[in-house]
Structure 1
Amino acid sequence: MVFVINKFIENKKQWFVIGAAMLMAVFAGAMSALLPWFVAVGLFAFAMVTLFIIRQPFIGILLIAFFLPFERLGAYEFGNTTIRVAQILLLITGLVWFLRLVWKRSYSFVRNPPLIPLSLFLVVVLASLTNALNIGRSVTVLIYVIFTASLAFVIPNLVVTKKQLQKVVIVLLVSFVLVSGFGLFQFLGDMTGLPQEVTGLRELYTKDILGFTRIQSTAYEPLYFANYLLIPIAILFALFLAGNNVIRSGWTIALFSLGVVNLVLTVSRGGYLALAVTLLLIGVIYFKKLFIVRNIVIIVIGTVVLFWVVLQTLGTGGELFTLDKFQEHVTNAFYGASYDERIETFDQAFIAWREYPIIGVGIGGFGPYVARHPYYIPHDGWRIVNNEFIEILAENGIIGLLLFMSVLFVLIVRSIKAIMVARDNYLRAIMVALLGVCLGIIIQYQTFSTLYVVHIWFLIGSMVACQNIIFNNQKKADVLLDANA
């Protein structure tokens, strides 16, 4: 008995988990007496999830992957800040992982070359605060950027095997199916007259505005939902062309079609262009497999069916909807009020850059710079450039832009090297897919400018993780060859 007790005491991790459980139980119990029952339930769920992450931080990555698209629905408005589940999970996972390192006194990290230019970029961002006109806003945006960018550091250190990467992909696809199904419901529900309280649509995207619904599913805007959809769509397309047996071809085609239909229904011009670039890159890399008879037949039939489904779905709009309206909205990239506003913000951004060419007007400082007063929030919110690279140039200067582009350059070059040496069919397919999404997002970044998007930094972290797994497998294979030589 004494021996058992001594062994139990020696297990510090077990004591830590039990102690944390007791504290959280007491906290949740106290809150249930002070707050409504649903808050108490939420706190209890939060406590349970935290315990799972404490025992295995990798679970936190899986949960983040699941909750990536839940930007608006499933989020909580706290003052002027939206608290999202993925952000809370990132905070818990990051803290737990860091505290485990401190507890074990082990500070070994995996290779992460993009982290060097990223760190320098964040230093420049920090220095740009000296030019900020609204220091409060700039500091807030800086915190958001550093917080979300931490995914590029945390994920590669927690996803270190092929099996773990496969689990992340599966969870991501499960979440994708759920939010895509909700997206279709959202479209059909709004087109047939269901109220916004049921569909969850913001008024700006209902059929009463354009004559057809722009779905956003659980995301904040259609363009963010389209941006997120690039990840599962690319993974499914790459796995289909690679001929991997992880998901059967029939299911792969069905899920791919579901994703494409949802992306089309976002009516996001940037999303369409990003999807085209993403699929084009994957098709080029898998050129030989793309043009075999079986795949050509499937792609042609699938394209015709998808086109018919989209037209039939859009046709539920009744008298308000016409194909001319839809075509006009999709193709008016170079005329109209939206185009004029975009050109105006570009001009203002270049003016700001010429005034502060080295480190810019401060992170998050473009809105205050062009506002009537830097501390007066316009009724329609702070203005943005709607082009990430031009906005970085204006807010962080030429140094910030070059460093940010260096992050992308290192990420892309390292991905290409990983693809070239990959011997595992599945890992190569995932790497190709993630690289395609990266290029697609770079293209879509010409039409919006938000740097602290969680799923984008999740993508970057996943790319580095996949690269490392491929390189590690290559080294192991080379060692075996040398041993057998």
Structure 2
Amino acid sequence: MTKTRQVVIAFLATISSYVISQYTLKHYFALLGILAIPFVIKRAFLLCIWFILFSYFRLHEAMPWLEPFKIPQLLALSCLAGLSWQVWFNFRGFQWHSLHTWLLIFALWVAICCVLASNRTESFEMLTGNFSKIVLMVFAISLLPTNINQLKRIPLLLILCGLLIAFFTLYNKVHGIGLVEETRVTIGREFGSMLGDPNDLSLVLLFPLSFTLVYIFNPSHLIKCLAIAATLMLLAGIMVTESRGGQLGVISVIFMAILLHSRNIVIPIAITVVGIIILFAVAGLENRFVSSASSGTIDESAMGRIHAWTAAVLMAVDNPMTGVGLGNFYNNYFFYTLHWDTKNHAVHSSWFEVLSENGFVGLLLFAILVIKAFKLSYRLLHRLKHSNYQPLAEGLWLGMISFSVSGTFLTQGTTWPFYILLSLLIATDRLSQDSTQLYQHSQHAGT
């Protein structure tokens, strides 16, 4: 060991001992955080990937013993620190994307709607506590990677985290933990986790399913078999949530995945029809329709969604420009519903959520953002075809499909899923512009 290294170790040990003896443990960890800044800056995108995983899959909520460590907050701060460093010292390399512009326009309109909201306190709590962080992290995720090779690990990590959540879902089903309506599975419902809603839980499992379906068509028999096994486990997790929106998402991504690799449209249609029959039989969705009709649980039935959507339209008609404000649909349900059953309900649709809370203008801006993201995803399908990054492009395309279909029945307009997809699309687009570099990376990865 060199003398320089010995001096550095001795100095750090001395400082650490002093902090332990003079200050609280909190101050000691703060010092360690300062000392870790060089690592954070150098490995910012690696930390960014973990932020995606924790935020999308809510790993700290699926494993509550992680909650005291505040991992998502620490990862977010690390990503923002790395992004600030990158922008400050490499401003010329800063690549603005047209989707960044549309995101900021939509975010600005959401902020204006908060100012004019029916309950400003509720709206600004949502704006500062969640939505503003989402917008910031879109920039961090989309700008931190420096070469496309960094994105190759993302599909595998998404699949592994999806399998972990699917395992907890099936475990809860077997042991009768966190069930709603007697049979529908949730995770962390007792402490208000996002996964505590079976509909949201099904959407979380749909994203990794998009990537496992892509790898089923891999020429390697080992990868194909592993992908089939992972797909079956994710499908089982989605089935036990008994989410109709989730089932529609499954049908749509399976159809599109087969269509991407089939020259004959008859085959995808035939397989999809058979899949619909199997899904309804295995998942027991017909029992939900029967039980909903007999018990009159309007909020969980198709009629419950129609009532919520009607209330959303009436909110927008009454406030056509700005709606009732971010996060205010639930509190305004009583004043606009045509069917009051003694309690307020969620809107159960990303599109109607944006319409009711941000008006017709907000819905238009959100639709433009989604359409442009679709167009970009479609371009990436063709640009990355036959490269080592084709699974990434196809997975993001299927992810967009699943969000658009299942998001029609789930309230995800201003939460993480779509915006993580958006940021990954921007990152993939800007790093795959140089076809020569892309070819070199593909060749290097294949050797």
Return closer, same or farther for 1:215/1:397 CA change in 2, 3 Å cut-off.
Answer: closer
Aligned mate of 1:156, from 125, 142, 145: 142
SS where residue 471 of structure 1 aligns? coil
Matched, 1:240 2:216: yes
The 1:474/1:222 distance shift into structure 2, 3 A limit, reads farther
Aligned mates of 2:263, 2:20 — CA distance in 1: 59
Q: 1:248 to 1:476 in 2, by over 3 A?
A: closer
Instruction: Say whether residues 1:440 and 2:402 are aligned partners.
Output: yes
- CA contact 2:57–2:204 (8 Å) conserved in 1: yes
2:347 and 2:22 map into 1 onto residues whose CA distance is 47
**Maintained 8 Å contact 1:61/1:168:** no
Counterpart-to-counterpart distance in 1, 2:346 and 2:432: 39
Kindly tell me: are residues 92 and 271 of structure 1, through their superposed partners in 2, closer, same or farther at Cα, counting changes over 3 Å?
Answer: same
Q: How does 1:23-102 map to 2 (within 5 A)?
A: 26=19, 30-32=23-25, 52-67=39-54, 68-70=56-58, 72-74=61-63, 87-101=72-86
Q: Which residues in structure 2 correspond to 1:106-121 (within 5 Å)?
A: 106=91, 108-121=93-106
In structure 2, the CA distance between the partners of 1:31 and 1:240, relative to structure 1 (3 Å rule), is: farther
Residue of structure 1 in register with 2:338 after alignment? none
The equivalent of 1:483 in structure 2 is: none
Give the TM-score of the pair, scaled to structure 2.
0.77
Output the CA distance in 1 between the equivalents of 2:126 and 2:144: 26
Query: Could you list the runs of 5+ residues in structure 2 that have no partner in the other structure?
Result: 336-341, 441-447
**Structure 1 residues 451 and 323, CA, compared in 2 at 3 Å: closer, same or farther?**
closer
Superposition TM-score, scaled by structure 1 size = 0.72
Q: How does 1:349-428 map to 2 (within 5 A)?
A: 349-371=312-334, 383-428=345-390
Task: Work out whether residues 183 and 215 of structure 1, in 8 Å CA contact, stay in contact via their aligned partners in 2.
Answer: yes
Aligned to 1:127: 112
Partner of 1:468: 430
Q: Which among 239, 259, 265 is matched to residue 240 of structure 2?
A: 265
Match of 1:481 in 2: none
The residue type equivalent to 1:145 in the other structure is F
The equivalent residue for 1:223 is 199
Structure 1 residue identity aligned to 2:85: R
| Superposition deviation, residue 170 in structure 1 | 2.3
The 1:411/1:122 distance shift into structure 2, 3 A limit, reads same
Instruction: State the 1:90 CA deviation.
Output: 4.7
User: 1:109 offset after TM fit, Å?
Assistant: 2.5
Q: Percent identity?
A: 16
1:460 CA displacement: 1.9
Note the aligned Cα RMSD (angstroms): 4.6
CA distance in 2, matches of 1:280, 1:29: 63
Query: Residue 224 of structure 2 aligns with which residue?
Result: 249
Contact 2:42 2:82 (8 Å CA) reproduced: no
Which has the larger displacement, 282-291 or 111-120? 282-291
SS for the counterpart of 1:431 is helix
- Is the contact made by 1:70 and 1:85 (CA closer than 8 Å) also made in structure 2? no
**Which residue of 165, 186, 201 corresponds with 2:151?**
165
Amino acid of the structure 1 residue aligned with 2:100:
L
Q: Secondary structure at the match of 1:426?
A: coil
**Distance apart, 1:468 and its partner CA:** 2.9
Task: Tell me which amino acid in the other structure corresponds to 1:357.
Answer: P
Q: Which stretch has the larger CA shift, 233-242 or 253-262?
A: 233-242
Alpha carbons of structure 1 residues 394 and 453: separation in structure 2 relative to 1, 3 Å: closer
Aligned residues: 418
Shift of 1:121: 0.8
Is 1:147 the counterpart of 2:133 in the alignment?
yes
Contact 2:215–2:223 at 8 Å: present in 1 too? Answer: no
Pair 122,62 (structure 1): closer, same or farther in 2 beyond 3 Å: closer
| Pair 1:274 & 2:249 matched | yes
Task: Write the letter of the residue equivalent to 2:122.
Answer: R
Counterpart-to-counterpart distance in 1, 2:238 and 2:31: 36
1:285 has 2:260 as partner? yes
**2: CA distance, partners of 1:243 / 1:353:** 50
Q: Which amino acid aligns with 1:417?
A: R
